[in-house]
Structure 1
Amino acid sequence: MRTKLVAGVDCSTQSTKVLVVDIDNGEIKATGKVAHNVFRSGGASETDPENWWDALAKAIDKTGYASKIEAISIAAQQLGVVTLDKNHKPLRRAILWDDTRSATKAEQLVSELGGPKGCYKFNWYTTVSWILSLFLGVVERCRTRNC
């Protein structure tokens, strides 16, 4: 009988971790882990989205079972922002969930929207507004690259 292997992946802020399991008996066959390059300075927390793909491939390869994995499940960090062009290529580094540069702008917008209760209707607004105000260069690049 052939062994059926599945992989669970955790793509977190710091690293990508892979766990390969035999689905018939639950035995952990192997693990792999690759750290992400995270840029942190002055409240910024960013990474090149291509790092995630590279880390995933390398972490799976480290298990030694890359060609035998039949299914994969991925859990990833949430609330990151990746800006893409029309060809789905990153325009800049991804802004990670723990980036604090928008805190002042967020507080101002919360007040303008009527306090915390008003923000529930527009929970995306503070992030998008801050990105547009801070990264107008991305918008300009989009215009010149016809995003």
Structure 2
Amino acid sequence: MSKPIYVLSGPNLNLLGVREPHIYGKDTLDDVRAACERRAQTLGRSIVFRQSNHEGVLIDWIQEARTGASALVINPAAYGHTSIALLDALKAADIPVVECHLSNPAARETFRHHTYVSLAATGLVSGFGLASYELAVEAAARLSA
């Protein structure tokens, strides 16, 4: 069996369904996890699904994914706009990386138009709510087949 796909979510995503539902939707992080697990299962794959509000923890998981994962899906949330450390960890990962966002950052505030993560990502899925994660898992599975 192939290595799992890591699905990592950054700060404040634990508040999905409560925080700004007009932007991020009413689905919870548990709903996102269940959808990712279903999509992975239909593709004959498994996932490791994690969320942290702490940049260093996310970096540790990215480094773990270097050898433990076949690919990585990451919604860096606000860290995407600020974290060169995440960029450096992703560049060292040497596995396919799919950046994922529930909303479309390009259609939002100017400071959200640039993400450091995009500089290391193989591809980007954004703007489709919970489906962004499902599509990102599918892309990661195809990239690591």
Q: TM-score range by the shorter chain?
A: under 0.3
Question: Which structure's relative contact order is higher, taking Cα pairs within 8 Å and 6+ residues apart?
Answer: 2
TM-score, reference length from structure 1: 0.27
The structure with more radius of gyration: 1
**More helix by proportion, 1 or 2?**
2
**More strand by proportion, 1 or 2?**
1
